[in-house]
């Protein structure tokens, strides 16, 4: 296949509206049911039981207790340091219109039966605003979690964020598989063309 034909195939493919989304992949990071925190660095896609440079959030007691660094701001029910983290639904938009605190903070009232609260033992989504480890951003993202306030462990399942500063993201959005497949196809075809030319 000639390179101009490949260019036509790529040009005819539908443009992805989520081409700039960075997705963590399934992480399933356990949240202890004790005082021992799990620290997560969102943009480095790493976690550990000790606070390391670049940490964004820490969770313990199954996720009943949740803290954030100045660079990771979860969407909250109101703009206040003690406001609860807000549970969002699939399809909700995370952008600058959400409520965020502007410093390190925590939340311990985000699990319950009220509107915008997480249900213990059930998956839910939180929105966030992130400044990455290189001080770029803010980026908007979502994180899927399963918190517990009944003495069980919790889980941070996965997350995604737009890597274009200030761009909104839809909760649940991940890079489109067709975009990834087309990029892979392009790489394979280019490699075959180079091989034939050699």
Residue 126 in tokens: 């939180």
- Minimal CA–CA distance to 139: which of 130, 128, 126? 130
pLDDT digits (tens, 9 = 90+) for 72-109: 999 999 988 889 999 999 999 999 999 999 999 999 99
At 197 the pLDDT is: 56
pLDDT digits (tens, 9 = 90+) for 154-169: 999 999 999 999 999 9
- Minimal CA–CA distance to 127: which of 112, 111, 139? 139
186 pLDDT above the threshold of 80: no
pLDDT digits (tens, 9 = 90+) for 67-76: 999 999 999 9
185 pLDDT above the threshold of 80: no
| Beta bridge partners of residue 141, listed in sequence order | 128, 161
Strand pairing report for 93-94 and 65-68: unpaired
74, 63 Cβ separation under 8 angstroms: no
At 80 the pLDDT is: 87
pLDDT digits (tens, 9 = 90+) for 19-76: 589 999 999 999 999 999 999 999 999 999 999 999 999 999 999 999 999 999 999 9
At 11 the pLDDT is: 39
22, 169 Cβ separation under 8 angstroms: no
- Minimal CA–CA distance to 132: which of 20, 56, 23? 56
- Model pTM above 0.75: yes
Domain ranges across the chain: 1-16+177-198, 20-175
At a CB cut-off of 8 Å and minimum separation 6, what does 120 contact? 111, 147, 148, 149, 150
DSSP state of 49: S
At 192 the pLDDT is: 54
| Beta bridge partners of residue 48, listed in sequence order | 39
Q: Is 25 left (phi over 0), alpha (psi -120 to 50) or beta?
A: left
User: In angstroms, rounded to a whole number, what is the distance separating the alpha carbons of residues 119 and 111?
Assistant: 6
Residue 113 in tokens: 């039966």
Q: Three-state SS for 112? A: coil
């Amino acid at each position: 296949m000639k390179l101009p034909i490949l260019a036509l195939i790529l040009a005819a493919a539908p443009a992805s509206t989520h081409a700039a989304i960075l997705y963590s992949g399934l992480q399933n990071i356990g949240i202890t049911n004790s005082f021992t925190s799990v620290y997560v660095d969102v943009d480095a896609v790493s976690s550990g039981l000790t606070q390391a440079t670049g940490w964004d959030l820490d969770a313990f007691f199954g996720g009943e207790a949740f803290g954030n660094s100045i660079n990771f701001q979860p969407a909250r029910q109101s703009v206040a340091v003690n406001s609860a983290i807000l549970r969002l639904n699939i399809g909700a938009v995370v952008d600058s219109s959400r409520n965020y605190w502007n410093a390190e903070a925590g939340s311990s009232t985000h699990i319950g039966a009220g509107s915008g609260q997480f249900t213990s033992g059930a998956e839910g989504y939180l929105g966030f605003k992130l400044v990455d480890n290189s001080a770029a951003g803010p980026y908007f993202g979502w994180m899927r979690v399963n918190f517990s306030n009944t003495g069980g462990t919790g889980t941070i399942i996965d997350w995604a964020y737009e890597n274009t500063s200030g761009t909104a993201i839809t909760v649940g959005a991940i890079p489109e598989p067709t975009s990834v497949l087309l990029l892979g196809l392009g790489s394979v075809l280019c490699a075959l063309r180079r091989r034939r030319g050699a």
